[in-house]
Structure 1
């Protein structure tokens, strides 16, 4: 049997659901608004998308998104919701991520038949695993690079996001590495701006990290933001590597699938994926795509880590979505012997010692990066105490001990609970 691509959508339509689903299938494969003479039955059989499954859901009185008025007037329609799975033959596009996007997330969002349409999940054939590099370091490699075998990486973000000079950035880094941090990243807003150019920042930061590694035998991972044009990213990657760095970061939505794939094929450092702009896809429940589908694309392209937000975060995303996102990152995409492409989820956004227990309980894994900005830097005992408070919180989580009980013998955790509640 030939390989097929499967995509599941949430839809809402005032038309019969089976008819609306067929419109989706036709628009995204061999069909158009009318039957063509050379669109033969054989061509449709070989290249047409198939409606694999329809799961009816509830109906509502009003459209969730604006849509053109129905022709013919009459009584106000009901808007039927459903989950619909379509499939396409791989022969239509080949194992190509950019063309996959055009197929599964292209014109269908504009079809007049729908008052809601959201991509929920995606299943790809083995040919994609063979065509794309996937993560180079992922979970195991990141642990080897950082020397951390069996606990979360405790990380942070350089703040203020912009405005610091390279030397001021290095001063913050020095405080962090002396405080015991595992992972530091540039903010997504700071890449190669004229007030803090990438190469000058590398020149200021890496001597601090390298000197700390010589003293302690453990190199802190710093994710330098090299988001930019293709040639610029390659050049900056090489500059970081030559300076002894172990990680670079890209804002994946800004660079695109082709940009990330190109960088991954060149890359010899861990590739940290930031999802800045993700809200464009996710904020509405009625249009866009779920993170479950989204993260599969970037895993294939080759990121080793990707952001998933955090519990009780400062943004609009609910906790159940954050946990589903993290679980998705840790779930294999393909059956053995193909690589599973699992990547490290990165928790961030308003995280403190308070979220550790719930995060561990809901995902049951320590294979993650736990980034806290204020949760470290605003700790009453200082940066080192902030780092220790997070480690203590995660120790309590793994041991199944209440934070309050663990805090009775761990002063830094006790300070964090008092400061951040």
Structure 2
């Protein structure tokens, strides 16, 4: 088993990216790190394209193909279903393979897939089943990309820089979420929902160019000769035996269940209940991204000042009640309720995400990181298809506004997991050396 590296130096675990030693100018932090800048640029561009698609794809289903609310829920669930099938072996494979080539292949496949939607629309044979197939296959590519990406960052920067790196990546992600929906709504009104998906294809290509320009050499150890099933078991055993990883994974899975239902309801709620135009839908969803930017900016500072565990609990308990403003949204001035509720709610969620991801990356043994990441993501994401389908079903049965009330009350109830956990009595999440004991058989 590989030991965690010291916090003040880059990792030298298998698959680690060996970069030349460099001083890091404090005023700019990781923005002075060329490789990190390229990763940040590529990721932010790709997330921008994905954010545009998050508005355009449901609009294609609702406005172009006249899909039912239940079908919109199924479409929301489709990108996450591959996690249930290939998530665990993907973690073992990513621990065997160089991470960057995996990310490049996934980007190129996704670019090609999303380009088929406007092509089918122009040729006159676009159907909801085509859109579902694209969402499903792009989701399969995302399984490998997300696992490789999460394991790639700790190899690119020092452990002491992971909180900063994750925070900056989350800020870029949320900034893309601010701009993307507005651009998506504008594209839908001017060019149409289907043609606008070409922008997402282009964003994947830009991300690939940035990855190719990263100047770092991946060093690989001798490939593992162990059976794939044994390697998968290592990741499962680590997550099952370690109470801290187990807790944040359970919390993430529950939160994702509720947020997936929210995603399945929000476009239908805004279009059919609030009667917002496509451009307004994009702008309203973008406002939640502003909160995400704020959450990414303050997460590291709050964790350093008050403690990572204390910040995780306090931020979640403070932010989620604002979600109760969203079901009160109406036309005119009442649109401000959606803005306020989604902004504060997502600020808290993103801040907690920065803390949890940074904790997992520093806490887990480097040689297990791909498998532990895949295991936790499979468990976290396995609830998303269920949540999306539940959201669509509740929407169909009770109507959009009642469905939105149901989702927001459920989101508030997730705080019970934190209130009943040992985290409420801790200042900080555990240090990395604890993970070594938990990874061994017989330790809990």
Normalization by structure 2: what TM-score? 0.27
Higher relative contact order (CA 8 A, sep 6+): 2
1 or 2, which has the higher strand percentage?
A: 1
1 or 2, which has the higher helix percentage?
A: 2
Normalization by structure 1: what TM-score? 0.28
